[in-house]
Amino acid sequence: MTIFEKILNKEIPTELVYEDEKVIAFNDISPQAEIHLLFIHKEKSENINDLMDKNPEQVKDLYHAIQKHTRAIGLDKTGFRVVTNLGPHGGQTVFYTHFHVLGGEQLGFFGRA
């Protein structure tokens, strides 16, 4: 079981910053920006390609949650970045699909280190 399933099952107590019927969001434990949130769907998939195979509607659920929450906290006004990593070259470490939302400060370029 991945750490995000444990968070969903409340085996690891984590403060949720957002929850609706289908999606939860919480703060990244190792923030890479002033604001660094992780959005996950309550139905499991391993990565974005697996999610698209299983139920592409989940992308809409996740972006709906991101839209709602970023508007609620005013992050849409200053801007933010959404990232999802897949596999070793993408830097994925938790094999439960998640969307990083980064903002709260000017972000740098990304890509090659």
Among 9, 10, 30, 89, binds ligand AMP (CB under 6 A): 30
Q: Which is nearer to ligand AMP, 77 or 102 (CB)?
A: 102
Among 10, 88, 93, 109, binds ligand AMP (CB under 6 A): 93
Among 73, 82, 94, 107, binds ligand AMP (CB under 6 A): 94
Residue 28 binds ligand AMP, judged by CB under 6 A: yes
Residue 113 binds ligand AMP, judged by CB under 6 A: no
Task: Identify whether 98 is a catalytic site residue.
Answer: yes
Q: Please list every residue from 38 through 77 that binds ligand AMP, using CB under 6 A.
A: 38
Contact 83, 98 (CB under 8 A): no
Q: Which long-range contacts (CB under 8 A, 24 or more apart) does 42-47 make?
A: 42/8, 44/5, 44/96, 44/97, 45/96, 45/97, 46/95, 46/96, 46/97, 47/84, 47/86, 47/87, 47/92, 47/95, 47/97
> Interface residues with ligand AMP (CB under 6 A)?
3, 12, 14, 26, 28-30, 38, 85, 91-94
Would you please indicate which residues are annotated as catalytic (active-site) residues? 98
